[in-house]
Amino acid sequence: MALRTVRTRPFLALKTKVSRRSTTVAGRTRAARSLGDRRTGSEGVEDMFRLLGPPLLLGRATSVPRAVPVTAGRDRDPVQRTESGALRGAETRKRTTSASRVSQRHGLGGRPGPNGRLRRAGQARVPPWILARRPLPAPRRAPAEPVRVAILATGWAGFNDAACRELAARGVELLIATEQQTANTEYASHRHDEYATLHTWRDDPAPGEVRDAVRAFAPDAVLMHSWHYAPFREAVKALPAGTLRVLWMDNIWRNVPKQWLGRAVAPWWVRSLFDAVMVPSDRTEYFARRLGFGEADVIRGSLSADTTVFGSGPRDGAEIADRRRFLAALRLVHHKGADVLAEAYRAYRSRVDEPWALDVAGIGPMADCFDGIPGVGMLGFQQPSDVARLMQESSCLVVPSRVEPYGVTLHEGALSGLPIVSTYFVGAAPFFVQDGLNGWTVPGDDADALAEAMARITAAGPDRLAGMSDVSRALGARTSSAGWAQHLHEQLSWRTAALRSTDR
């Protein structure tokens, strides 16, 4: 690839002076040219500008390098030829010498490069934050192969259990590493030893414990929750070359200082560690893209309700109206909006002549917010099968969260044919709540707006409630436990094959 100087127009946002005498810029330029030696055409251009960064211009025209693709000739170094095939003389020799110095400084040959991957002979080492951002080749769309998958989880719910059972049924060997559940929230349906190898701990794992368990399992791919949890990071860093590393995240972008800090350190802290990211919604994908993951790095649809437990046939509007019950299934903590729900229900009861009852399924430190409120039934922690029964016996699902990264309970309510009232900051709301058709979304932390939406549901009448139920069931059918397992199996199979083809 040859380089030539082009004049650019002086109308962008910021002025910058690029000095050839600057050690930092010159070093980056030499590394970019060395990287250009290994790739041609648009790939080389893309990689060079990832390293150099886009030119920021204002005031007067500034010269920037542009890579010009060159047809391969007898000379193995495309940088040494112009578009006509002739050598560029002293400038080319200087450029070639600079590239050689970079190669010598970073090392050549078949030694491990960044992230533990092997470099081919003659391949210059590039800083890991550059390699990490280069997307893998397009996955090979062949039939899914059996793979061994380790899941490093910060928690384990009923829907996780159902989805992984389906994954194991497809021939995938699983290791689940997670903290032991507490007795008052333990799921009776969790019998991991029936379909997976289980590694658990109480409080915190011993140093190296998770790393050794994962290493002994020898997975083809690892799915990891929580990019900042040290035992999980240690385990992922110790993986050999050719192991697919996937960040499993569900957070949404909220524009808070902590997230801006995470974005600033993401090239070193996140992207250098993971090959791909798995997200449940477009809101989480927006956050992941701000961390540096490209469009091709994203595995979409990472969460599904347990469709072996939740579900409903068509529901009659009169039956829904006659139930006269709201249901809220949540942990009674601040970010779930337990106090907002209590205040909203008080306001709701003052606005309607014949208020419906409110069943609260869950436990937590804010349970006392509901003390003394007429019509409230505190049901405590409920197993998934019991929540599914409660949804069949209710008229509307209420989700009052201040912040909810996803909210699988919305999917469960939609599958059960319930009208839904949800706050906006529930990540799954755009998938399962269509305003005016099967419920309403309201602003978070706004008890008055929540009470008003509950009053509208009460006044809807049997015909409209029946229509809302039909829309909910249709939206809930868009994904399932079995569909989740099929999609993830294929994605891991294709991406593992693509990753290993680049490491040969």
Q: What amino acid occupies position 236?
A: V
Q: What would the mean pLDDT of 436-451 be, rounded to a whole number?
A: 97
- Label residue 88 exposed, middle or buried (CB < 10 Å: 0-12, 13-18, 19+): middle
Spatial contact of 334 and 366, defined as CB atoms under 8 Å apart: yes
pLDDT of residue 61: 36
Closest CA to 410 of 310, 309, 319, 308: 310
Q: What would the mean pLDDT of 494-498 be, rounded to a whole number?
A: 93
Distances (CA, A) of 248 to 109, 226, 298, 301, 308: 34, 8, 10, 11, 23
Residue 420, SS3? strand
- Report the alpha-carbon distance of residue 372 to residue 280 in Å, rounded: 38
pLDDT of residue 408: 96
- Report the alpha-carbon distance of residue 292 to residue 132 in Å, rounded: 9
pLDDT of residue 145: 67
Spatial contact of 391 and 410, defined as CB atoms under 8 Å apart: no
- Report the alpha-carbon distance of residue 361 to residue 387 in Å, rounded: 8
pLDDT of residue 129: 44
Q: Band of the pLDDT at 444, cuts 50, 70, 90? A: very high
- pLDDT at residue 446 greater than cutoff 60: yes
- pLDDT at residue 11 greater than cutoff 90: no
Spatial contact of 328 and 376, defined as CB atoms under 8 Å apart: no
Spatial contact of 306 and 158, defined as CB atoms under 8 Å apart: yes
Q: What amino acid occupies position 37?
A: D
> Token pair for residue 145?
């192969």
Residues facing residue 150 across a β-bridge = 175, 222
Q: What would the mean pLDDT of 105-116 be, rounded to a whole number?
A: 40
Average pLDDT, the chain: 78
- Report the alpha-carbon distance of residue 482 to residue 299 in Å, rounded: 16
pLDDT digits (tens, 9 = 90+) for 247-294: 999 999 999 999 999 999 999 999 999 999 999 999 999 999 999 999
In angstroms and rounded to an integer, the radius of gyration of the C-alpha atoms of the chain is 28
> Token pair for residue 193?
């030893």
- pLDDT at residue 18 greater than cutoff 90: no
Q: Band of the pLDDT at 49, cuts 50, 70, 90? A: very low
* Displacement of CA 216 from its chain's centroid (Å): 27
Backbone angles phi, psi at 401, to 5 degrees: -60, 140
- pLDDT at residue 136 greater than cutoff 60: no
Give the helix ranges, DSSP H, for 118-157: 128-131
Residues facing residue 151 across a β-bridge = 176, 223
Residue 336's region, left for phi above 0, alpha for psi from -120 to 50, else beta, is alpha
Between CA 380 and CA 388, with CA 383 as vertex, the angle to 5 degrees is 105
Domain with CATH 3.40.50.2000 in the chain: 148-304+482-502, 317-478
pLDDT digits (tens, 9 = 90+) for 308-346: 999 999 999 999 999 999 999 999 999 999 999 999 999
DSSP 130: H
Q: Domain 148-304+482-502, what fold? A: Rossmann fold (3.40.50)
Spatial contact of 98 and 92, defined as CB atoms under 8 Å apart: no
- Report the alpha-carbon distance of residue 261 to residue 258 in Å, rounded: 5
pTM beyond 0.85, yes or no: no
pLDDT digits (tens, 9 = 90+) for 460-489: 999 999 999 999 999 999 999 999 999 999
pLDDT of residue 202: 87
> Token pair for residue 380?
């405590």
Q: What would the mean pLDDT of 428-446 be, rounded to a whole number?
A: 96
CATH architecture of the domain formed by 317-478: 3-Layer(aba) Sandwich (3.40)
pLDDT digits (tens, 9 = 90+) for 367-396: 999 999 999 999 999 999 999 999 999 999
- Report the alpha-carbon distance of residue 109 to residue 101 in Å, rounded: 15
Q: Band of the pLDDT at 157, cuts 50, 70, 90? A: confident
Give the Cβ contact number of residue 454 at 10 Å. Answer: 26
